[in-house]
Amino acid sequence: MIALHVPGDSVLHRAPAGIKLLALFVLALAVSLYPHDLPSLGAAVGVVVALHLAALLPPTTLPKQLWQTKWIVVVMVATQLAFLTPWDALVNTVRVVSIVLLAGLLTLTTRSEDLLEALETGLRPLTRIGVDPRRVGLTLSLAIAMLPVVAGIAARVRDTERARGVRLGPRLVVPVLVLALRHADDVADALTARGVD
């Protein structure tokens, strides 16, 4: 789920990206470690809703974000019900969905370049062991930007499939992969041409 930045002037929008990243880390840790009881679950959901309200985003944003987690919910509930009690499955799913929604809120209220700058600053100490923070930041940006491109490639292949009256089924992945790799070549050329290789 990639929630792109929605411009705004709320406290959350104005807060420094580094602080928000740190807060997400702390909240994610707290949500992961809270006790398995109803008040804790209520508190997690309350924090998610309160922060979304504080961000002054359009009212449909949270329901949309929640809807986008549907497959996470389905997969988590289905797999956990096989091994755990329904209550444990519910607790774990609420935990993960809360963290995903908080991460989504971070990207909704923070320009990705500010986020990457904060990440690059945070990774700077790792330069001593050979990590290039700028390269890590660029890689993450590219990954975010390429998701809709790959989705577009898949849609194009599906259209071609329909137009030609064939059903590739799981084999659909082959042309998608070939086109995605070709696009990767083009991106490499563009990086070189733009002097950011």
Partner 1 sequence: MSDAREIALEEVTVRLDGRSILEGVTVRLDARRIAVVGANGSGKSTFARLLNGLATPTSGTVRVHGVDVGREPRRARAEVGFVFTNPDAQVLMPTVAEDVRLSLRGSGMARAELDARVAEVLADYGLTSHADAPVYSLSGGQKQLLALASVLVRRPRLVVADEPTTLLDLGNAQRIGRILLDELDAQLVLVTHDLELAQRCDIALRFHEGRLVAVGEPAEVVDAYRREYA
Cα–Cα distance measured from residue 105 to residue 100, given in angstroms and rounded to the nearest whole number: 9
| CB of residue 89 to partner 1, shortest distance in Å | 34
Considering the complex, state which of residue 93 and residue 110 has its C-beta at the smaller distance from partner 1.
110
Contacts to partner 1 by CB under 8 A: 4-5, 7, 111-113, 134, 138, 141-142, 144-145, 148-149, 152, 183, 186-187, 189-196
Contacts for 155 with CB less than 8 Å, ≥ 6 apart: none
Considering the complex, state which of residue 134 and residue 136 has its C-beta at the smaller distance from partner 1.
134
Whether residue 16 contacts residue 122, with contact meaning beta carbons closer than 8 Å, is answered with no
Q: What is the DSSP letter of 125?
A: G
| Stretch (H or E) spanning 157 | helix 133-163
| CB of residue 14 to partner 1, shortest distance in Å | 15
Contacts for 197 with CB less than 8 Å, ≥ 6 apart: 188, 191
| CB of residue 66 to partner 1, shortest distance in Å | 20
Contacts for 188 with CB less than 8 Å, ≥ 6 apart: 197
Considering the complex, state which of residue 122 and residue 152 has its C-beta at the smaller distance from partner 1.
152
| CB of residue 35 to partner 1, shortest distance in Å | 38
Whether residue 140 contacts residue 116, with contact meaning beta carbons closer than 8 Å, is answered with yes
| CB of residue 134 to partner 1, shortest distance in Å | 8
Considering the complex, state which of residue 129 and residue 193 has its C-beta at the smaller distance from partner 1.
193
Considering the complex, state which of residue 10 and residue 192 has its C-beta at the smaller distance from partner 1.
192
Cα–Cα distance measured from residue 180 to residue 197, given in angstroms and rounded to the nearest whole number: 19
